[in-house]
Amino acid sequence: MTEMDSILPVQDSVSAVWFDAVKNGKLLLQRDPVSGGAQYYPRAHVVGAPDRQPEWVEASGAGTLYSYTIVKRSVHPQFASHTPFTLAIVELAEGPRMTSWIVDVPEDEIHCDMKLTVVYREIHPGLIMPCFTKV
């Protein structure tokens, strides 16, 4: 295992569906089949109802910038080549919030409540992740 491998997202039997969809340009969420409530990150059960299994649904890819920080000095050497980058919490149109990167937006144009849309970037060889850019 390399140093970079130790900080990459873990893909397991629950999250594999999500990662496969992202590779194909789709952002998935899980939904409670009873209440219809959406959840993110992938889990084996519905939040608050461990006896229920969630179903996968495709997200619209639309979101709003809830919070962000611009990282100018990486705390991990493997991210140094990416600095500066904007780490964000994006509130998806379906309700859940997810951590991601804002890309292709000048720093002085980034602001909370900014409307965003999902784009996909290869952040490491073979690893594509959803990022967001302004609408």
For the beta sheet containing 55-58, the strands, ordered from the edge strand earlier in sequence to the opposite edge, are 38-39, 28-31, 55-58
Q: Provide the pLDDT for residue 3.
A: 53
Whole-model pTM: value is 0.91
**Which tokens sit at 82?**
């990416």
pLDDT tens profile 4-35: 556 788 899 999 999 999 999 999 999 999 99
- Total count of domains within the chain: 1
Domain assignment of residue 74, given as a range: 5-134
Percent of the chain with pLDDT over 90: 81
pLDDT tens profile 80-99: 888 999 999 999 999 999 99
Q: Provide the pLDDT for residue 94.
A: 98
Q: Provide the pLDDT for residue 55.
A: 98
